[in-house]
Amino acid sequence: MEDEFSAIGRPHWRVDGIGKVTGRARFAADLSAPGMLWGRVLLGRHPHARILSIDPSRAKALVGVRAVLTADDLPFEKLFGTVIPDQPVLAFEEVCQYGDAVAMVAADSSIAAESALGLIDVRYEELPGVFDPEEAARPGAPTVHGSGSNILVHHQVRKGDLAAGLSMAKVVLERTYRTQHVEHAYIEPEAVLAETTDDGGVCVTGSIQNIFSTRKSLASVLGLDLARVTVKHATLGGSFGGKDEVMTQMACRAALLARATSRPVKMVNSREQSMIESYKRHPYVMHYKVGAGGDGRLTAMEVRVFADAGAYASTSQFVTWRSAVQAAGPYECPNVSTDVLAVYTNNCYTGAMRGFGSPQVNFAVESLMDELAEQLGRDPLELRLRNTFERGSVTATGQRLEHEVSIREVLRRAAQEVDWPSRRRSIEISNRSRTDGRRCGIGLACAYRGVSLGAEGTDAAGAIVSVQSDGSVIVSAGLTDMGQGVSSVLCLIAAEVLGIDTKRVKFLNVHTGRVPDSGPTVASRSTLMGGQAAKKAAEAVRDVLLDVAAGELGASAGALAAKGGSVFVKGRAERSIPFDEVVRKAYAQGRSLLGFGWHKAPATSWDERRGSGDAYFTYVYSANVAEVDVDTETGKIDVIRVTAVHDLGKAISPAMVRSQICGGIAMGLGFGTLERFDSDWGIPATLNLDEYLIPTSLDMPEVAPIILENPDPAGPYGAKSIGEPATEIAAPAILNAVAHATGRRVTELPGDLETVLLGKHLMRGRSS
């Protein structure tokens, strides 16, 4: 099977690697332009308040200040938003969260700009706030946005008869689980450079994840046609879903200042500014009720979730929809009722973060399955295997799974790797004899995940492959490389199709003026959607080259193949012509060697009223096993080893897949045991990475990444996705292991010292 491919699945250089390791790569904060000004924003210091007046006169008089703008100076749209335009570029009338910007300054230096902010006089009238999503959802609660309800969206899933299913159960469990605000903690803070263009438009370059949604908002806020707004992607130092709306907002502000001054404007956030202004992962409150028969088979599951959307919608509708689809886990349950509500509060707003609504519900349902196994006196692995999907199973949304369903395969492989039953028994025997206050544990978790956007919206992407006259190749696409390696993946696919060395292929950073709008770089869709588009584009070029070579080799184009840097007759490798020579002849004949590929995802469906449908066109399957050592006297968790098994269809780059898995475990470890963005009634209490704890190399366990391959026809060469699946079940596996070690279950994340030792978080009273 390996011999089938010459590029994909094999060792390779990352196409962006040299620039990054030599320091030549230019990140957004490295950019500059002649005559450049520095932009800064004045942040409000109330979670909810009416703006009575803003007086910028003293700031405007400061030497070096070139512009001071408030919402009154915005000539066109004042609001933007990915789904609902409810977020202000600059706040007007009210601030709805701590850190809403009320004014901005452009000055000759960053020091002058910062000084000017202190000279802007703002008067507020504080308003009642609401900080708990369950309280905010109740009638009569203070409203975040005027009159009406704080409920932003309510998704439901219905299958079967819940009451009948519960009445059939021998065991019924009811549990509540809670998760926290989580900071993306990318090392590179947000940065943009905005410049005006000769045609009266703007060009913005920055650390922007989704350049096309940013362009759309820029056009609206500036009153420009899309064609006169250019957004360029600088080398991006991490995002994890976090550089979307916050970057759109920064881009709009910088562009407005650039147009007001007719000079380039650069904005770079400090870490404190980033943590105040950036959105977080949604905190969830999850109420679960599950019923099972004496044989361990699920009979019913009821789920009710409250997601804290914070002050603005962002992507909450889509995040919570994915939660609703996957809340019952990878288990065939005949009767399901799920309600997921995203609720406005005066906390910091929340949006996309790696996993996109699945880490929260996976923590809940996988904890619940372990508790159910204990109640039934069954092994957690055996209980899962009894209930997991197989080909032909019907999901909670009523979708029949007709592809290769490998959830049992990944579970069995993970169990085999650690010798699950023997290891679990030996740990229990060892713990009984220990006198040092430490206990070991082993736990597992599994998941299925819908690939790409699914029924969230239109799902399509484009790519361009251009062969140069010397045989080198340029690949460009409408999807962003945030460090995850999509640029290398698309180049590998193009090299495979053309039969050339990957070192001959270059990737161009994303630029709205030269690639098609391919939607957002989210939902772990880049390899599948971008890969299919790149494959089609490369195939279009290859077809031309084969046609040219056919005339030289005296064979039909269908009888030829491209591989190893040449074009040859299949089965007759000696009848060949070098790739470069075919290219030269194609140019001599005036043939175009530019290929455009466009890929639209297979159909999905969703009935919002009935809460059912074919939510995604395919799924990926994963299982984690975690081994821990817990100090029962301090609550400290040491994660010793995580075995992570993923069926991602086909690994285009196994090395990058393994790195994605290791990075995903690190994020899941932080989510499960360390990370928590705290606030006191909407006022942030965690403003830097000295207080916000993320895992370091000393916290990382040994990771055993295991790749299973069941190629899926929906993806390029059978590939699907790995970015988000890599992180979404690490936390429940670790905390199931903690429960095995201590006999006490963590139901509120993170499972930090206090929670493991005392069963509660010491800051629970805060709005976090």
pLDDT in tens, 379-402: 999 999 999 999 999 999 999 999
What is the structure's pLDDT at 761?
Answer: 65
Cα 385 to Cα 437: distance, rounded to the nearest angstrom: 34
Q: Find the distance separating the first CA and the last CA of the chain, reported in whole Å.
A: 50
Residue 36 corresponds to which tokens in the numbers above?
Answer: 């450049």
What is the structure's pLDDT at 233?
Answer: 92
Q: What is the mean pLDDT of residues 705-733?
A: 97
Cα 403 to Cα 393: distance, rounded to the nearest angstrom: 10
What is the structure's pLDDT at 623?
Answer: 98
Angle between helices 316-326 and 358-376 (to 10 degrees): 20
Q: What are phi and psi of 215, to 5 degrees?
A: -60, -40
Q: What are phi and psi of 329, to 5 degrees?
A: 75, -175
The overall average pLDDT reported for the chain is: 96
Res. 418: pLDDT tops 60: yes
Alpha carbon separation from 761 to 180, 683, 693, 757, 758 (Å, rounded):
11, 18, 15, 10, 8
| 766 pLDDT tier (thresholds 50, 70, 90) | very low
Q: What is the mean pLDDT of residues 721-746?
A: 97
pLDDT in tens, 317-358: 999 999 999 999 999 999 999 999 999 999 999 999 999 999
Angle between helices 245-261 and 211-222 (to 10 degrees): 40
Alpha carbon separation from 550 to 131, 496, 539, 557, 562 (Å, rounded):
70, 20, 16, 5, 12
Q: Alpha-carbon torsion 270, 272, 273, 278, what sign?
A: positive
- Measuring CA to CA, which residue among 489, 471, 695, 417 is closest to residue 586? 471
Looking at the chain, the whole-number percentage of residues with pLDDT higher than 70 is: 98
Q: Using alpha carbons only, give the angle 755, 761, 763 rounded to the nearest 5 degrees.
A: 160
Res. 178: pLDDT tops 60: yes
What is the structure's pLDDT at 764?
Answer: 43
Question: In which residue are the tokens 């992962």 written?
Answer: 281
**Strands 171-178 vs 65-70: parallel, antiparallel or unpaired:** unpaired
Contacts of 620 (CB under 8 A, 6+ apart): 448, 449, 451, 646, 647, 648, 649, 720, 721, 722, 725
Contacts of 727 (CB under 8 A, 6+ apart): 354, 355, 359, 663, 664, 665, 667, 668, 671
Note whether 120 and 44 are within 8 A (CB). no
Alpha carbon separation from 257 to 91, 249, 498 (Å, rounded):
16, 13, 46
Note whether 728 and 449 are within 8 A (CB). yes
What is the structure's pLDDT at 2?
Answer: 40
pLDDT in tens, 664-706: 999 999 999 999 999 999 999 999 999 999 999 999 999 999 9
Residue 428 corresponds to which tokens in the numbers above?
Answer: 């229990």
Q: What does the DSSP assignment read for 207-271?
A: S-S-HHHHHHHHHHHHT--GGGEEEEE-B----TT-SSHHHHHHHHHHHHHHHHHTS-EEEE--H
Looking at the chain, the whole-number percentage of residues with pLDDT higher than 90 is: 96
Res. 1: pLDDT tops 50: no
Q: What is the mean pLDDT of residues 226-230?
A: 98
**Strands 594-600 vs 460-467: parallel, antiparallel or unpaired:** antiparallel
pLDDT in tens, 54-87: 999 999 999 999 999 999 999 999 999 989 999 9
Res. 768: pLDDT tops 70: no
- Total residues found in the chain within this entry: 768
| 270 pLDDT tier (thresholds 50, 70, 90) | very high
Give the chain's domains with CATH numbers.
2-24+460-600 (3.30.365.10), 31-127+190-268 (3.90.1170.50), 284-454+607-758 (3.30.365.10)
Residue 541 corresponds to which tokens in the numbers above?
Answer: 């070029």
pLDDT in tens, 277-296: 999 999 999 999 999 999 99
Cα 619 to Cα 452: distance, rounded to the nearest angstrom: 9
Note whether 616 and 720 are within 8 A (CB). no
Residues 556-583: b if buried by 16+ CB within 10 A, e if exposed:
ebebbbbbebbbbbeeeeebbbebbbbb
Alpha carbon separation from 107 to 67, 69, 114 (Å, rounded):
7, 12, 9
The predicted model scores a pTM of 0.96
Give the DSSP H or E segment for 579. Answer: helix 579-588
